[in-house]
Amino acid sequence: MADQKKILRALAGEVQAVPPIWMMRQAGRYLPEYRATRAQAGDFLSLCYNSELAAEVTLQPIRRYGFDAAILFADILLLPQALGADLWFVTGEGPRLSTIGAQADFDRLKPVEAIHETLNPVYDTLRILKRELPSETTLIGFAGAPWTVATYMIAGRGTPDQGPAHALKDENPALFAQVIDRLTEGTIDYLSAQIEAGAEVVKLFDSWAGSLNGADFDRYALEPAKQIIAALKARHPDTPIIAFPRGAGDRYEGFGKATGADCVAVDDAVTPDWVAAHVQKDGCVQGNLASRHMVTGGAELVSETRKVVDALKHGPHIFNLGHGITPDADPENVQLMIDTVRNG
């Protein structure tokens, strides 16, 4: 495996003296070069669908920091838009979508085979990145997991507790199941097309998995991930898949085995020592420095970074944050984190 990229080696189970490193939302508002490119694009969605500019912002943190992976610049809500939902972004507040609250709303959605007409610019971004990235840098594609995407489609926006989605699944389980099934099918096709366009790894973000409990977690977080991963493995058996059921707590244990994921990404609500004992025993893990250290920096950033590296050094590990970097982060703190991981 010595000739493979470091991320791919970790995903194949290799234990490396220095873990590979990338960062969720590494292309984003904390970087001045990103802000300049976004201003050039005009608005967030225009940036996502401008393949040249989306590739540019994906490349910016690679040029600045030399991360071991670049993750496609896009958004998890592009899939529901491709399925026919209205999508727009409100400055300072985030996304807004048309809502699904009744069967008639669902019936207006497009079939899965129609998504690629809208999403072709995303695939073009990947083709550009495949050509432009340094040879040692892994290209990661991604999608939102069905439960998380459904929470936005049902509420029309992000909510603190995903209450509207919980209400629909409890009050109209048949309709809710249709939403999850359509998103599961769409995610399979979307990620498959990303792989065909050049993604070497894909990641499934279930950002709101932590609001599911018991049988609901199995039914709406674990089972769709299992279906998506099985279908992708049938089409692309050599492409590794990272699953991130954020907020899963003790349900992280066994999630990789149950779903077939090659790696489980973990948030910072669980300790690195717990992850080593309960999750890494099954294979590669990704994580899990708290994002706040990218804001506060200093000696605590260094000590906490070392703590993550030391706890997870006995198994396959990809160093990352426990969630995405925030817009108020200091770019100098990112460099300090990288230097600490790579130089001890």
Beta-strand ranges (E) seen in 157-206 are 201-206
Please determine, looking at this structure, whether the domain spanning 6-343 carries the CATH number 3.20.20.210: yes
Instruction: Report pLDDT for 93.
Output: 87
Instruction: Report the C-alpha gap between 179 and 160 in whole angstroms.
Output: 21
* Res. 1: pLDDT tops 70: no
Segment among 85-99, 142-156, 288-302 with least mean pLDDT: 85-99
Say what percent of the chain tops pLDDT 70.
99
Contact residues for 134 (Cβ-Cβ < 8 A; gap 6+): 62
* CA distances, 31 to each of 37, 61, 174 (Å): 10, 8, 44
Segment among 88-97, 99-108, 141-150 with least mean pLDDT: 88-97
Residues 121-131 have a mean pLDDT of 98
Q: Report whether 287 contacts 324 (CB < 8 A).
A: no
Q: Quick: pLDDT tens for 228-249.
A: 999 999 999 999 999 999 999 9
Q: Report whether 47 contacts 33 (CB < 8 A).
A: no
Q: How wide is the angle at C-alpha 82 spanned by C-alphas 88 and 72, nearest 5°?
A: 80
Residue 252 among the catalytic residues: no
Residue 34 among the catalytic residues: no
Of the candidates 25, 246, 251, 292, the residue annotated as catalytic is 25
* CA distances, 305 to each of 74, 251, 297, 320, 328 (Å): 28, 24, 11, 10, 19
When pLDDT is cut at 50, 70 and 90, the band that residue 5 belongs to is: very high
> Is 313 strand, coil or helix?
coil
When pLDDT is cut at 50, 70 and 90, the band that residue 91 belongs to is: confident
52, β-bridge pairs: none
When pLDDT is cut at 50, 70 and 90, the band that residue 324 belongs to is: very high
Residues 172-186 have a mean pLDDT of 98
* Res. 3: pLDDT tops 90: no
CB neighbours of residue 338 within 10 Å: 19
Mean pLDDT over each residue of the chain, to the nearest integer: 97
Say what percent of the chain tops pLDDT 90.
97
Domain residue ranges of the chain, discontinuous segments joined by +: 6-343
Instruction: Report pLDDT for 209.
Output: 98
Residue 75 among the catalytic residues: yes
Of the candidates 29, 35, 157, 219, the residue annotated as catalytic is 29
Say which amino acid occupies 217: F
* Res. 145: pLDDT tops 70: yes
Of the candidates 30, 152, 220, 252, the residue annotated as catalytic is 152
Residues 210-216 have a mean pLDDT of 97
Q: Report whether 207 contacts 243 (CB < 8 A).
A: no
Instruction: Report the C-alpha gap between 285 and 245 in whole angstroms.
Output: 12
Of the candidates 38, 157, 219, 342, the residue annotated as catalytic is 38
When pLDDT is cut at 50, 70 and 90, the band that residue 92 belongs to is: confident
Burial 66-91 (b: 16+ CB within 10 A, else e): ebbbbbbbbbbbbbbbbbebebeeee
Closest by alpha carbon to 318, among 272, 285, 282? 285
Q: Quick: pLDDT tens for 9-57.
A: 999 999 999 999 999 999 999 999 999 999 999 999 999 999 999 999 9
* Res. 2: pLDDT tops 70: no
Instruction: Report the C-alpha gap between 79 and 36 in whole angstroms.
Output: 26
Q: Quick: pLDDT tens for 60-83.
A: 999 999 999 999 999 999 999 999
Of the candidates 35, 75, 105, 127, the residue annotated as catalytic is 75
What secondary structure letter does DSSP report for 241?
E
Q: Quick: pLDDT tens for 249-301.
A: 999 999 999 999 999 999 999 999 999 999 999 999 999 999 999 999 999 99
